[in-house]
Amino acid sequence: MAEFTLELNDDQKQVRDWLHGFAADVIRPAASEWDEREETPWPVIQEAAKVGIYSLDFYAQQFFDPTGLGIPMAMEELFWGDAGIALSIVGTGLAAVGVLANGTEEQIGTWIPQMYGDADDVKVAAFCSSEPDAGSDVASMRTRAVYDQAKDEWVLNGTKTWATNGGIANVHVVVAVVDPELGSKGHASFIVPPNTPGLSQGQKFKKHGIRASHTAEVVLEDVRVPGHCLLGGKDKLDQRLARARERAATGGERVKNAAMATFEASRPAVGAMAVGTARAAYEVALDYAKTRTQFGRPIIDNQGIAFQLADMRTRIDAARLLVWRASWMATTGKPFESAEGSMSKLYASETAKKVTAQAVQILGGNGFTREYPVERMHRDAAIYTIFEGTSEIQRLVIARTLSGMPIR
């Protein structure tokens, strides 16, 4: 088991510097254009694929880093470049995590390569969980999956929303209800293969931030997928549902559902994204404060500015420490007994919102214009306290974990 350390090894430093160079040289110069266009930056994704960043191999190497720091380190550097473009590059990873968390070895080997494609023909994937009437309230999910035993097929019907890459993905991972009586415990995840009839893109959302990342509804109308597209297989599902029914009857322990398994694994990574955006805004503000003069001296000479920057850097470092701790715990198999994964996501997300707002304030009128990147960073940061579990939901998870009470 790897010991917890705050020092990256030489290989990790090399990867970090490589990613930082790509973020600085490829992502940042394109950030403003794709934010304005509000379109998927396919040329940038293809460049990432050519150098090996957008690939199964790269994410596997980071995912299986024994220290747990590979993924958070990569997320921080890419999102330091630009949140919208970075999310377009890493968004497929959420669907991949969904397969890794719930799928068999055969399913992992079959579907994850199809999510990425190759450098000459890049593909993306989508994880579809949220619904118009069931965001944080996963127990209210309405998308149904019904098993057709005669044909060994599952029939999916419903509408998903807020799906990154929804409708444009090569592979969709869809969470659906298989047993409505079990609430969130009666969910399962399904692969919807490319070009499956009945799946279509609904509304594409025009967003406040992360505008280079495609977000849309996914409509499922009598979508039929083969039995082998049920992640984990039917035997495993039947066993899990039987345990859930037994525990529900006896008032026993809770059973995790498929969507929550994915989110639990990805929360520290989202925290790392937030750290990257916060760090980028802090660096712009620090440089501006050192070079901008008012009343004959740099504005950083004023305590009102200097103290803000001190607080910004302190919060960023604290957020990174929480993210690294949670990532290390997850990789080394240590349970989140105090909801450390949610802690990391909560604190890092709130830090990104606060730090980017302070950066806008330090730049004054310039910070409010699109001539400077902190305006975009501030818009992008708003998403971190919303997606993959709002800050309110993170606090609920933490409070329930600490107290053992069903806090509502």
pLDDT tens readout for residues 16-59: 999 999 999 999 999 999 999 999 999 999 999 999 999 988 98
The arithmetic mean of pLDDT across residues 148-159, rounded, is 98
Q: Which residues pair with 145 in a beta bridge?
A: 156
Taking each helix axis from N to C end, the angle separating 340-363 and 374-381, rounded to the nearest 10 degrees, works out to 150
Round the average pLDDT of the chain to a whole number and report it. 94
Single-letter residue type at 182: L
Q: Which domains does the chain have, with CATH numbers?
A: 10-121 (1.10.540.10), 125-250 (2.40.110.10), 258-403 (1.20.140.10)
SS3 assignment, position 55: coil
**Catalytic annotation, residues:** 388
Q: What angle do CA 382, 387, 388 make, to 5 degrees?
A: 145
Please answer whether residues 87 and 78 qualify as being in contact, where contact means their C-beta atoms are separated by less than 8 angstroms.
no
Specify the pTM: 0.94
How far is the CA of 6 from the CAs of 60, 130, 328, in angstroms?
22, 35, 11
Binned at pLDDT 50, 70 and 90, residue 90 comes out as: very high
DSSP 268: H
Binned at pLDDT 50, 70 and 90, residue 250 comes out as: confident
Q: Please tell me the predicted confidence (pLDDT) of residue 388.
A: 87
SS3 assignment, position 148: strand
Q: Please tell me the predicted confidence (pLDDT) of residue 139.
A: 72
What is the spatial distance between Cα 253 and Cα 228, in angstroms, rounded to a whole number? 29
Backbone torsions φ then ψ of 191, nearest 5 degrees: -85, 130
Single-letter residue type at 88: S
What is the spatial distance between Cα 18 and Cα 52, in angstroms, rounded to a whole number? 11
What is the spatial distance between Cα 128 and Cα 142, in angstroms, rounded to a whole number? 13
What is the spatial distance between Cα 245 and Cα 240, in angstroms, rounded to a whole number? 9
Residue 128 has pLDDT above 50, yes or no: yes
DSSP 134: B
* pLDDT 10s digits, 342-400: 999 999 999 999 999 999 999 999 999 999 999 999 999 999 999 988 999 999 999 99
Q: Which tokens in the block code for residue 89?
A: 């590059």
* pLDDT 10s digits, 100-123: 889 999 999 999 999 999 999 999
- Asked whether the CA dihedral 373, 374, 379, 383 is positive or negative, the reply is positive
Please answer whether residues 387 and 380 qualify as being in contact, where contact means their C-beta atoms are separated by less than 8 angstroms.
no
Taking each helix axis from N to C end, the angle separating 83-90 and 42-51, rounded to the nearest 10 degrees, works out to 60
What is the spatial distance between Cα 102 and Cα 256, in angstroms, rounded to a whole number? 11
Residue 255 has pLDDT above 90, yes or no: no
Neighbours of 86 (CB within 10 A): 29
Q: Which tokens in the block code for residue 333?
A: 């198999």
Q: Please tell me the predicted confidence (pLDDT) of residue 259.
A: 57
Q: Which tokens in the block code for residue 37?
A: 């266009």
Cα 291 off chain centre by:
35
Q: Please tell me the predicted confidence (pLDDT) of residue 262.
A: 55
Backbone torsions φ then ψ of 208, nearest 5 degrees: -65, -40
Least Cα distance to 382 among 356, 363, 347 occurs for 356
Binned at pLDDT 50, 70 and 90, residue 251 comes out as: low
Q: Please tell me the predicted confidence (pLDDT) of residue 266.
A: 77
Q: Which residues pair with 15 in a beta bridge?
A: none
Q: Which residues contact 128 (CB under 8 A, 6 or more apart)?
A: 160, 163, 166, 172, 173, 174, 175, 218
What is the spatial distance between Cα 68 and Cα 340, in angstroms, rounded to a whole number? 14
